[in-house]
Structure 1
Amino acid sequence: MAEIQGSYDDLFTAVPGVLAALLNAGDAGGSVAVFVDGEPVVDVWGGCADADRTIPWQRDTITGVWSVTKTMTALCALVLADRGQLDLDAPVARYWPEFATAGKDRVLVRHLLAHTAGLPHWDGPVEELYDWPSATARLAAQAPLWEPGAAAGYHSLTQGYLVGEVVRRITGRSVGEFFADEVAGPLGADFRIGLSAEHDHRVALAVPPPSHDEDYLASAPGATAAPATGTGIRVRDGNSVAWRRAQIPAAGGFGNARSVALVQSVMACGGTVRGVRLLSQAGCDRAWEEQFCGEDRVLGMPMRYGLGYGLFGNTYGWGGWGGSMVMIEPDARMVVAYVTNQMREPGHDNRGLEVVMAAYDGITALRS
């Protein structure tokens, strides 16, 4: 039986049980956190931080969470909107004048957050992702694939640069710097967009599915294969030093379940966590505003998008390639986060859902 480290409330015993079962089933390592009212009722970890199973997963182990990073970038935009510095209904070109080419003068800021801007694919080389001016210049020159706001297609890599450049134009800081200064720093959260060398020793590199190697190509949540268009991202790209050093705000964040749950507790708790106020209640509620409901042109499945988050019934959040996920349940003031370095076979990954269901068992008991 896998050994699980950390602590948890007795009412939430099922949650570490799920993590143990996943490790017993062959996963390398991972961490799970459940926060209620901004405080942990589950904070556990286990397994190994390397594919050879020689390095134990520690309390401060971090790993790439892929598209869970989008929720962190979205939070930065929502903070600016709440402060009155960002108008979500404004054209992107108000803040980024060079963007108003090839029909993009009609792209609004809210379109960027809702995957409806019409710029879903990264068409440049992978190496260009590591150069912010080049990446944003490429996107500024592109024409949208559809009338902005009229359809949705998952912006798996591009969303972070689009939103991040708006943040940079307003604040004069990169999105990674803004997140560190205004979100992670005040909360004391161990999450970073752009990882410096001093943290490399804590990183658990991504482990591809058993039937694949490090050339395994990325696919979006819910998809069974890599997208047919755009540049493919491989596991080896995400495991590279260049990826860690760069700011890739849609897919390049590093953290653990504790830090993900702590940051997103801001959304679950009306904007204030542990005495730190980042948003008003109205600012949090913006994330819930449905921007799109229908077939996603990239994912090929029905989706509901809010502002920077996917909407799922009375919850919202997002998952990342490889299995990591975060779920926010405002009614219960609860956040569930699962972070892992172990990828599963395409189309066969329900781990995040298993963790969430176990957390609901606990919250039901807590309420009774």
Structure 2
Amino acid sequence: MTPLGSCHDRFHGVRDEFARLLDTDEVGASVAVDLDGETVVDLWGGHRDEGRTTPWTRDTIVSVFSSSKPVTALAILVLVDRGLLDLDAPVAAYWPEFAAAGKEGVLVRHLMGHTSGLSGWEQPVTMEDLYDHESAVARLAAQTPWWTPGSAAGYHALTQGHLLGELVRRVDGRTLGRFIADELATPLKADVQLGVRREDDDRVAPVVLPPAIELDTSGIDPAGIPFRTMTGPLPRAELANTEGWRRAEVGAANVHTNARGLVDLMRVITLGGAAGGERLLSEATVDRVFEVQADGVDLVNGVHVRWGTGFGLTPNDAFPSVPTGRVCWWGGWGGSVIVMDQSRALTVSYTPNRMAAGSGVLTFERTKRYLDAVYSAL
């Protein structure tokens, strides 16, 4: 199947790889690449639905799961740049209730770097409980950390968006979704939403679920941090196709966008704080992204991860497909990804609706093939 959109000749390998995958593994998807402020790849193709009855069009959007986290991190960085948040200040300076249960020393950068000790909610909790922001953040404020804050990283799979979203609300007054719309997406003309507007429901591509995998939990310690995180709550991909998920603001996981939208927004990091004629961040604030918050085996993912301030950094065992350098990134369940490579002035994104099997952040073959094609062109 021939992808639609535009692609500079230099990146023909990306277009060719996309065409091959549209004929085999994809249902619908989009791929975008920005090089030094110029969009050199903007491709989409396939179908929005598993039955392949509705084409994926230029303005199709999809839930990108944890590729949402860089968007939420960018919102925090904007507030830091404006002097409304200090990365080195205690969270409780802005959110007094958060000081409960031994968290008075947790810093804003601990939330950004997944080192706060709050990688999940205490049971009982369901995914639907996360739709009630006030209740969900009150529970986190009262909760005792699962390890000494700042001592190690443990992937805050779902909690990070609520924790950072509450900081936005405390210092700005707006919800995270409203702040993203007003202060990020609108000035950068990026098609990115946290909480889908009803009028945009017909643009959303439903998620195509991966094959079910039977997990052997017999050797997993139910009191261990990985189990408590991944069951607090247990993620259910099928919720992405419900109205409740689309209306909620789960800042760690339910941004809806496409590859062009993510690139239009996140290239501001690659380009030193300014893109599309708008400056969102100073270069000094962008530099803070690359300050290492943790460098070791992640307590949740079980692989070596280098965490910067809000983003993964390379080199990184969870992300072998990108060369080392001044690079920050993150990816989502099922295969979506956003890479900001300052060393090469390169921003890359991929957003599919057919989720790849697996639970690793970037153990997805399709994602690797697109990234390999992009870097081969350089």
With normalisation by structure 1, the TM-score equals 0.92
Structure 1 residue aligned with 2:105? 106
2:302 paired residue among 287, 291, 300: 300
Cα offset, 1:195, TM superposition: 0.8
Which amino acid is the alignment partner of residue 179 of structure 2? F
Cα offset, 1:284, TM superposition: 1.1
1-structure distance, mates of 2:211, 2:143:
37
2-structure distance, mates of 1:231, 1:166:
22
Cα offset, 1:211, TM superposition: 4.7
Cα offset, 1:183, TM superposition: 0.7
**Residues 112-127 of structure 1: matches in 2 within 5 Å?**
112-123=111-122, 124-127=125-128
Matched, 1:132 2:133: yes
2-structure distance, mates of 1:166, 1:267:
21
Deviations 1:105-132 (A, max 9, x none): 1110000000000000134222221111
**8 Å Cα contact 2:157-2:229 kept in structure 1:** no
Cα offset, 1:260, TM superposition: 0.3
Structure 2 residue aligned with 1:192? 193
2-structure distance, mates of 1:226, 1:7:
45
Q: Structure 1 pair 121/134, CA: closer, same or farther in 2 (3 Å)?
A: same
1-structure distance, mates of 2:14, 2:29:
13
Q: Structure 1 pair 339/10, CA: closer, same or farther in 2 (3 Å)?
A: same
Secondary structure at 2:101 match in 1: coil
With normalisation by structure 2, the TM-score equals 0.90
1-structure distance, mates of 2:107, 2:180:
22
1-structure distance, mates of 2:165, 2:212:
35
Unaligned runs of 5+ in 2: 215-225, 315-323
Cα offset, 1:333, TM superposition: 1.4
Structure 1 residue aligned with 2:320? none
1:350 paired residue among 339, 360, 365: 365
Structure 1 residue aligned with 2:66? 67
Cα RMSD (Å):
1.7
Secondary structure at 1:192 match in 2: strand
1-structure distance, mates of 2:56, 2:99:
47
Runs of 4+ in 1 over 3 A off after TM superposition: 210-213, 224-229
Instruction: Count the aligned residue pairs.
Output: 352
2-structure distance, mates of 1:157, 1:350:
24
1-structure distance, mates of 2:89, 2:15:
45
- Aligned identity (percent) is 49
Which amino acid is the alignment partner of residue 292 of structure 2? E
Secondary structure at 2:33 match in 1: strand
Which amino acid is the alignment partner of residue 351 of structure 1? R
**Residues 74-89 of structure 1: matches in 2 within 5 Å?**
74-89=73-88
Which amino acid is the alignment partner of residue 4 of structure 1? P
1-structure distance, mates of 2:142, 2:370:
42
Deviations 1:2-32 (A, max 9, x none): 1210001000111112222222223211000
2-structure distance, mates of 1:225, 1:209:
21
Deviations 1:189-238 (A, max 9, x none): 1000111111110101110124579xxxxxxxxxx999654221212212
**Residues 88-103 of structure 1: matches in 2 within 5 Å?**
88-103=87-102
**8 Å Cα contact 1:226-1:232 kept in structure 2:** no
Matched, 1:259 2:261: yes
**Residues 221-232 of structure 1: matches in 2 within 5 Å?**
229-232=231-234
Cα offset, 1:360, TM superposition: 1.6
1-structure distance, mates of 2:355, 2:263:
21
Q: Which deviates further from its counterpart, 313-322 or 17-26?
A: 17-26
**8 Å Cα contact 2:127-2:236 kept in structure 1:** no
Secondary structure at 1:152 match in 2: coil
Structure 2 residue aligned with 1:157? 158
Structure 2 residue aligned with 1:220? none
Structure 1 residue aligned with 2:321? none
Deviations 1:331-355 (A, max 9, x none): 2211000000111221662222221
